[in-house]
Structure 1
Amino acid sequence: MAILLKNATVFDGERFLENQSVEIANGKISRLVSAAETQSIADEGQIIDLQGQILAPGFVDVQVNGGGGVMFNDQRTVEGLTEIVRGHRQFGSTTLMPTLITDSFDVMREAADAISAAINANVPGIRGVHFEGPYLSLKRRGVHAPEFLRDVDDEAVGLFTRGDLGEVIVTVAPECVPNEFVATLSEKGVHVCAGHSAATYEQIGEALKVGLRGFTHLFNAMPPLANREPSVVGAGLDDVESWCGLIVDGYHLHFASARIVVRAKPQGKIMLVTDAMATVGAEEKHFNLYGDTIHAVDGRCALDDGTLAGSDLDMMRAVELTHKELGLELGEALRMASLYPAQFLRLDDKIGRIAPDYDADLVAFDKDSMKVTQTWIKGEGEEH
C-alpha cells in the first residue's frame, strides 16, 4: 500500500519545495506530487498529514560508537546494533555506520560478524561498519587503549574486504601503516580515513595519492595547524577531493574553528558526525569503556580527568548547531548530515535525496523546535 506524506515543506536534498507531497511505495520514493494532485489520489493509500513540518532526507552518521545505552565494543550482536539504531533513530538518523573503537583482532572479527548478521537480518539503518583503529598513533590515541594499538595485523585486509559488511570505513594513522595498506584497501572499495594521527603534511599527501578519502573528526586527536607545520589538519583543509568529518557540539572544536573549516573546504566535502557514545538516546548518562567510567554532562562525554571520550551528540542537534551557531543556511546543514556523507559512502544514488527511486529514508521535524517527530527507513515509519 502506498503512503502519501502531505502538507510538509519538502527539502529534497538541494532545495526546499512548497506545496508538494511525497509518495512512498515498496520502500522507495515513488513520486513527488503537487498539493492539487494530492486529493485526487487520497483514496489510493494511507495519508499522513505532516502539518507544516519539514520533511528531509534521513541523516547519515558515519561515526557512531554507541547509543540507546549500548556500546558496540561491548555488545557485538544483532540485538546490540538494533538498540544503537533505536537510540539514534529518534533523532533523525536513518543510516548508521556502527563504529568499533580500537580493540583486539578477535573483537574486530566478532564485530564484523555482527554487522554481517544485522545486514542479513535487514536491521533498519545498518549499511556498513566503521573500524576506528587499531592502527593509530600512540601520541594521538585519545581514549583508545594503548595496549591494543599495534602494527597492521596479517589478516586485516581480509577482514576489511570480506564482502559481507556493506560499506566499510577504516580510520588509520597514515604514519603508522604502509602506504601499500592504504592503497590495497582503497582499491578494494574501503573508505580509508586519517585520524588519531601525528602525521606530517607530507605523509598525509602520500596517503592521499594512494587512496586516502577522508579525515575522521578533523582537529580532534591530531596536531593543530601551525605556520610551518600544516600537519593533518592543514592537509585535510588543503585537499579539495577528500571529505572531513566534524563534531559540531561546541566541545570538540570551537564554533569559529568549524566556521573556518566550512569556508576552507569546497562545498560538499564536510560531513557532520556525532562520534556518539552509549548515552545518546539513553536515560543513563554514563557508561564504561575499557573499564573506565565515562560521564556525559551537559552533552559532553569525558573521563574523570577531563579527557574527551566521544560525544553525547545526536544528529538533529548537530544540524541545529550548524545552522544556528555556524550560521549556515538550514539546507546546507541538512546536506552536511545527509547528502554529503551519502556521497562519501558512494550511496548517493540510494539515499541523501528525496527523489523517485531513492530509498524512502526520511525525517520529519518541527522547524521551530528542531525536534524530530517521525522517521521512515525504507518506507517503514516510526513516530517519536
Structure 2
Amino acid sequence: MTSLRLHVHQLFDGQQVLDHQVLTVTDGTITAIDNDTSNADDVISAFVVPGFIDLQVNGGGGVLFNDSPSLEKLTTIIAAHHQFGTTGMLPTLITDKIEVMEQAADAMAAAIRSKVPGILGIHFEGPHLSVAKKGTHAEEYIRPISDREWQVLSRKDIGQILVTLAPETVSVADIHRMVSLGIKVCLGHTNADYPTAQAAIDAGADGFTHLYNAMSPIQGREPGVTGCALLNDHASCGIIIDGHHVDYTAAKLALKTKPKGKVFLVTDAMSTIGTNQTEFSFFDRTVYLRDGRLTSTTGELAGAALDMISAVNNSHHGLDISFEEAVRMASKYPANYINQSGIRGELKVGQAADFLVLNQEHQVISTWVAGKPVYNA
C-alpha cells in the first residue's frame, strides 16, 4: 500500500472550490482530504478539477475504433484524449459488421484485463438505427438485432455497455431485455414519433444520444424524440458543444428544460484528436476537417473534431454557465449516468483519484488517472 500526499493550491471537488487542500491518494483512491500542508509529498500550484468522462468517443490519435479494433488501438485512442482531460471513456463503435462488433468486444475485454487507464466500457452506436436518420452511419450495416448481437451484449467482461438504438427498429421487449442485462439504452439516430420513443423510455431506456442531432425534432403537433428527451426528467442527454452540431441557444433551452445533472457533454470525437490530420477514410467515403468541422464527401457531419476541455470551455462561454458547472457536465453527470456515482466524477474520499491540473486559461497541464500522471504538457 502506497500513499501520496498532494498539496493542491486550488481544488474544485465537484461541489465547491477550496484553497490549499491536501489530497491523500492510496492505491489509486482518495483516502483523505485535509488542510495540513506541513507534510505534503508534492505541491500542485494550480487549479485541480475532477477528470472528464466521455461516453461517446469514436477515435483519436489518428485511429478510429472501427478500423480493426484492438487493444493497441484502444490504448492509442485514450492516450490522445488524456491530453485534453479525459480520464474515463466508453470507446464507441459505429454501425458495422457483426464481426467488427465481436472484435471490438474482444479488444475491450483485453483492455479491461490489462487495466488500461480510463477504459470503462463500450458504446455500441448502432447497428439498430433508422435509415432516415442514419447520419454518417453506413446504411448497408443497419440491421435488426440477431442472436450474435445478443451474445456480444450479454458479455460480462467488457465493462459498462451503452447501446444507441432507434426505438422504431427494436422492440420494447428487446429494450427491456437489454436493461435487465445492465445495459444503458440511449435513443438516437431515430425518426420515431413521440409515442414510440416514450414506450422505449417506459421499457427502461433512459438516455438520448447527441441531443437534437439525428432525431425527429420537436413540433407543435408531433413532439418527436427531441420532445421526449426534454420532457422525461429522469432521462439524461449527451450533447455535443462544438459550435457546429447544436446552436448555443438550443443548448441553453435544453439546460433550462432538463433538471440539473441530466445533460452531459460528449465529444463524438473522431481520429483527428491529438493529431494534425485534416482528412481520413471512413467506410466508402472521405471525411474532411475544415474550420473545426468534420464533413463527409456525402455532405453530412461525420462526428466531431472536439476534445473534452474544449467542450467544457465552449459550454462555459457559450451557454452562460459557470466553469465549475461546465466541469460537472463533463465529469459528475456522465459518471452518474453510467452508475459510477461515488466511484468517480468528483474528488472526494473513497473516489478514484482521477483529476486534471489546469492553468489560468483552463487548459490541461497534466492528467492523472488512479493517482498517477498519464499526461504532462
TM-score range, shorter chain: over 0.9
Render the CA deviation track for 1:124-181: whole Å, top value 9, x for unaligned.
1101000000000000000100000011112222211210010000000001111111
Code of the aligned partner of 1:182: I
Does 2:172 align with 1:179? yes
Q: CA RMSD in A?
A: 1.1
Aligned mate of 2:76, from 83, 92, 114: 83
In structure 2, what is the equivalent of residue 251 of structure 1? 244
**Distance (whole Å) between structure 2 residues aligned to residue 369 and residue 293 of structure 1:** 35
In structure 2, what is the equivalent of residue 18 of structure 1? 19
| SS of residue in 1 equivalent to 2:147 | coil
Render the CA deviation track for 1:336-358: whole Å, top value 9, x for unaligned.
10001000000112100101121
1:21 deviates by 2.2
Whether the aligned pair in 1 keeps the contact of 2:8 and 2:48 (CA below 8 Å) is: no
Q: What are the equivalent positions in structure 2 for 1:241-280 lying under 5 Å apart?
A: 241-280=234-273
In structure 1, what is the equivalent of residue 133 of structure 2? 140
1:305 deviates by 4.5
Does 2:66 align with 1:73? yes
Does 2:188 align with 1:192? no
In structure 2, what is the equivalent of residue 50 of structure 1? 44
1:225 deviates by 1.2
In structure 2, what is the equivalent of residue 60 of structure 1? 53
Does 2:23 align with 1:30? no
In structure 2, what is the equivalent of residue 286 of structure 1? 279
| SS of residue in 1 equivalent to 2:135 | coil
More divergent stretch after superposition (3-12 vs 262-271): 3-12
Aligned mate of 1:375, from 353, 367, 371: 367
**Distance (whole Å) between structure 2 residues aligned to residue 281 and residue 4 of structure 1:** 31
Give 5+ residue unaligned stretches, structure 1: none
Whether the aligned pair in 1 keeps the contact of 2:172 and 2:199 (CA below 8 Å) is: yes
Whether the aligned pair in 1 keeps the contact of 2:20 and 2:37 (CA below 8 Å) is: no
**Distance (whole Å) between structure 2 residues aligned to residue 8 and residue 90 of structure 1:** 22
**Distance (whole Å) between structure 2 residues aligned to residue 261 and residue 352 of structure 1:** 22
**Distance (whole Å) between structure 2 residues aligned to residue 271 and residue 54 of structure 1:** 22
1:5 deviates by 2.6
Render the CA deviation track for 1:289-315: whole Å, top value 9, x for unaligned.
103111122221111353100000000
Aligned mate of 1:215, from 185, 208, 219: 208
Whether the aligned pair in 1 keeps the contact of 2:285 and 2:298 (CA below 8 Å) is: no
Render the CA deviation track for 1:235-254: whole Å, top value 9, x for unaligned.
00000001000000010010
Whether the aligned pair in 1 keeps the contact of 2:8 and 2:23 (CA below 8 Å) is: no
1:62 deviates by 0.2
Aligned mate of 1:96, from 77, 89, 97: 89
| SS of residue in 2 equivalent to 1:311 | coil
Aligned mate of 1:363, from 338, 356, 360: 356
Code of the aligned partner of 1:10: L
Give 5+ residue unaligned stretches, structure 2: none
**Distance (whole Å) between structure 1 residues aligned to residue 20 and residue 44 of structure 2:** 12
Runs of 4+ in 1 over 4 A off after TM superposition: none
Code of the aligned partner of 2:319: L
Code of the aligned partner of 1:2: S
Code of the aligned partner of 1:81: L
Code of the aligned partner of 1:296: L
